[in-house]
Amino acid sequence: MATRYLQLQHPGRTGVTSGDGRSIWNGQWRGNGKTWDISSCGTGATCLSPATHKYNKFFRTGDPAISYGCGYSDLDDGIMGAMFSEILHRNGHKTERCLAVIEFPGNLSINVRVGENLIRPSHFFNHLKQGNLGRLKAAVDYYIRRQVGNRAWPSIKQTENPYKVMLSQVSKTFAEMAARFESDYIFCWLAWDGDNILTDGSIIDYGSIRQFGLFHHEYRFDDVDRWSTNLIEQKTQARYLVQTFAQIESYLNTGKKYPIGKFRNHPELRRFDKIFSETKKTHLLEKTGFTKKQSHELLAQAPKLVEHYQKAFSWFERKTKTNAKTYRVSDGITKDALYCMRDILRELPAHALKDSNPMDPNKFMKILASSYCSKKDATANALRTKWCGQFQKAWTSLVTMSAKIDNKSVSDVLANVAKRSSIINRYERVTGDAICNVGDKLIKSRKNLTRKECISVMTNFIEEQVLSPDDKKKQKAQNDIASAKSRKLIKSMLKTVRQLRDGL
């Protein structure tokens, strides 16, 4: 069964004819107190393909005249999605995960995937657009039962309105998700229909998902007849999704469908803004090397200091080349960012442990400079020197404040920040371009490897990309790589990651 949901790329705007163009829902699996949905992508053309309604005709599976509408999935997409989803999962992002990639001749595959709740926002939006209250209520009730049954949400009391609870949960989910995406430079096209995202905040379908090396906030994906949102605009789209859920909540509770504009100033949107802001600040502190507990304490007891730190951090993070023009890349357009904030977050604690004096501005800028920087961009002029000073002053004050809160010495806190930051901000962090190239390397090399060796290479590469110092499952990379061929391939894959670390 291919499921129907409202998609922006379809000619229709009510979701009557849109939905999965090449996927089927296989069913459910229950275990360990949870229910999982299983789906398969690449199983053949369906009547819900955008191509069917764009050209007003059905396409036979495998028809070479149309790519997406042919119903097939590429092997490289399956391998890339399997590795990328597992990397993001291990680094704390909610995501649909891969069960199997089944290869067929001609670089084709069926990609079997699993998620705790494969309901998209657009599964609700089609019934909302059609004004079908009965079906909308059934879909929402189903979603609520699944979330509570899977213990993703607490049980709803009899005195609580379940639809208000749903709105509150969705608002929190999308605020935290959008903040994490922006903080981690994850491009996930959050269009109004929630493209590439599930209602529980999980990423789905890695065809256009990217993790940037820098804050490339000018990048836009080219979807043929429209440009995607960029990193900064993802928050606005997530907020509008919440606004639409406010419309749904009102419709279910009153039986009347009010215009979407009526919910522009809904209290949940103000709550969304607050959660987004707090999550961004907390995550910045965690990236800096503070623990979750320390980050929450700093935000609670020194909010102004955190704001100063965030302001200085963002000044460098959002810089692009002066007068640089937007240019085309393989799947969109972009303008290069300049500075790699992960590098200064990793190197500054090491400097502070050796020298109590602030880092020289020219050294600071040299560490920050990415491969996109010219010599002029990496030189400490008067303005950059000012911001170097403000950044280091705020950073040092946060370390001192954290030591005071925890009743520890500054050197002890600094040593822990240095240790954690070296893992979180590892030099070899995979980007979207890197995962595509790494996937190609694996596919080309797999004929020279046994199936066990191939899976071992994938597993160990994923382990290399676990950047959480609190991950209990992390093992030493290459523990079970016995063959010289496998070790050589892993080395080549990591070299590719290093070469493409600043990119898209």
Can you give the residue range of the structural domain that contains 358?
289-424
**Which residue matches tokens 């391998």?**
79
Cα 449 to Cα 462: distance, rounded to the nearest angstrom: 18
Cα 426 to Cα 65: distance, rounded to the nearest angstrom: 44
427 and 347 in contact (C-beta within 8 Å)?
A: no
Number of structural domains (the chain) is 3
299 and 326 co-located in one domain:
yes
181 and 70 co-located in one domain:
yes
476 and 392 co-located in one domain:
no
218 and 230 in contact (C-beta within 8 Å)?
A: yes
Cα 129 to Cα 132: distance, rounded to the nearest angstrom: 8
436 and 406 co-located in one domain:
no
Q: Examine residue 9 and state whether it is found in any structural domain, yes or no.
A: no
387 and 342 co-located in one domain:
yes
Q: Between the CA of residue 257 and those of 65, 81, 238, 241, 266, what are the distances in Å?
A: 42, 39, 21, 16, 15
Q: Quick one: DSSP state of residue 364?
A: H
Q: Examine residue 260 and state whether it is found in any structural domain, yes or no.
A: no
Q: Cβ neighbours of residue 377 under 8 Å, at least 6 residues apart?
A: 321, 338, 369
Cα 376 to Cα 380: distance, rounded to the nearest angstrom: 8
Largest CA distance in the chain: 71
150 and 95 co-located in one domain:
yes
316 and 368 in contact (C-beta within 8 Å)?
A: yes
Q: Examine residue 277 and state whether it is found in any structural domain, yes or no.
A: no
Q: Is beta strand 34-41 parallel, antiparallel or unpaired with respect to 23-31?
A: antiparallel
pLDDT, tens digit only, all 504 positions of the chain: 678 888 877 777 788 888 888 889 999 999 989 999 999 999 988 888 888 888 888 888 888 887 767 888 889 889 999 999 999 999 999 999 999 999 999 889 999 999 999 999 999 999 999 999 999 999 999 999 999 999 999 999 999 999 999 999 999 999 999 999 999 999 998 888 877 899 999 999 887 899 999 999 999 998 777 888 999 999 999 999 999 999 999 999 999 999 999 999 999 999 999 999 999 999 999 999 999 999 999 999 999 999 999 999 999 999 987 778 889 998 899 999 999 999 999 999 999 999 989 999 999 999 999 999 999 999 999 999 999 999 999 999 999 999 999 999 999 999 999 999 999 999 999 999 999 999 999 999 888 888 888 888 999 999 999 998 887 775 444 455 657 888 889 999 999 999 999 999
What the block records as the tokens of 429 is 């962090």
Amino acid 60: pLDDT = 87
Q: Which of 166, 376, 331 is nearest to 251 (CA)?
A: 166
Q: Examine residue 283 and state whether it is found in any structural domain, yes or no.
A: no
242 and 386 co-located in one domain:
no
71 and 109 in contact (C-beta within 8 Å)?
A: no
Amino acid 10: pLDDT = 77
CA atoms within 13 A on the CB side of 265: 0
Q: Between the CA of residue 285 and those of 40, 176, 197, what are the distances in Å?
A: 39, 15, 26
284 and 309 in contact (C-beta within 8 Å)?
A: yes
Q: Counting Cβ atoms within 10 Å, is residue 159 exposed (0-12), middle (13-18) or buried (19+)?
A: exposed
Cα 209 to Cα 194: distance, rounded to the nearest angstrom: 13
Amino acid 420: pLDDT = 96
Cα 163 to Cα 272: distance, rounded to the nearest angstrom: 17
Q: Examine residue 17 and state whether it is found in any structural domain, yes or no.
A: no
Query: Given its phi and psi angles, is residue 490 left (phi above 0), alpha (psi -120 to 50 degrees) or beta?
Result: alpha
Query: Where does a domain end: 201, 229, 254?
Result: 254
What is the CA angle 189-176-464, rounded to 5? 75
Query: Where does a domain end: 389, 424, 459?
Result: 424
Q: Examine residue 11 and state whether it is found in any structural domain, yes or no.
A: no
Q: Examine residue 1 and state whether it is found in any structural domain, yes or no.
A: no
222 and 162 co-located in one domain:
yes
Q: Examine residue 262 and state whether it is found in any structural domain, yes or no.
A: no
Condensed to tens digits (0 to 9), the pLDDT of residues 399-448 reads 999 999 999 999 999 999 999 999 999 999 999 999 999 999 999 988 88
Query: Where does a domain end: 254, 272, 304?
Result: 254
438 and 418 co-located in one domain:
no
Cα 370 to Cα 229: distance, rounded to the nearest angstrom: 24
Which pTM does this prediction carry?
0.92
178 and 211 co-located in one domain:
yes
267 and 395 in contact (C-beta within 8 Å)?
A: no
DSSP H or E segment with residue 23: strand 23-31
Cα 328 to Cα 334: distance, rounded to the nearest angstrom: 7
299 and 214 co-located in one domain:
no
132 and 225 co-located in one domain:
yes
Q: Between the CA of residue 54 and those of 12, 57, 58, what are the distances in Å?
A: 9, 8, 10
